[in-house]
Amino acid sequence: MRYRRFGKTNLHLSAFSLGTMRYLASEDNAAQTVERAIALGINHIETARGYGNSEPFLGKALQSHRTAQTWHQKIYITSKSPPTPDADTMARSIDESLQQLGIDFLDCFAIHGVNTWEHLAWIENPQGCMKAVHQAIADGKIRHLGFSTHAPLEII
């Protein structure tokens, strides 16, 4: 497996990441998928609040690696959450992700789907969702931040 520096994070992630949107057939299927990915050298797993049971399935799949107490030094987790109009909703979303994943922090967190002017306004609002994201960073719950979009260039 090849590994590359991920943006400005200085994380060395596998060239292939495991996206967990489509492993949802069962908890067992998710666990087998995660095990195989790790066996192949994939060290970056990406999930999202909007992917159904993806976060709890991933949390359970990673439990077998926790016995060595070093799994989080070898596997990097990204989760994503859509923009919200207020900080409280985003704070709950971040905390729920951490709880479902069974971890104390996310290596990477992305605001997922900044697709409309309204979404951008929520992010730019000093009392909006970014207030909670910045607090989560300060509290050590998020290490690196990014975003995703399918928006037109004017919004990007």
Tell me the whole-structure pTM to 2 decimals.
0.90
Angle, alpha carbons 148-153-154 (nearest 5°): 110
Say how far apart CA 155 and CA 119 lie, in whole Å: 10
Contact 12, 3 (CB under 8 A): yes
Confidence band of 87 (pLDDT split at 50, 70, 90): very high
Contact 14, 41 (CB under 8 A): yes
Q: Where are the domains of the chain?
A: 3-148
CATH of domain 3-148: 3.20.20.100
pLDDT in tens, 104-146: 999 999 999 999 999 999 999 999 999 999 999 999 999 999 9
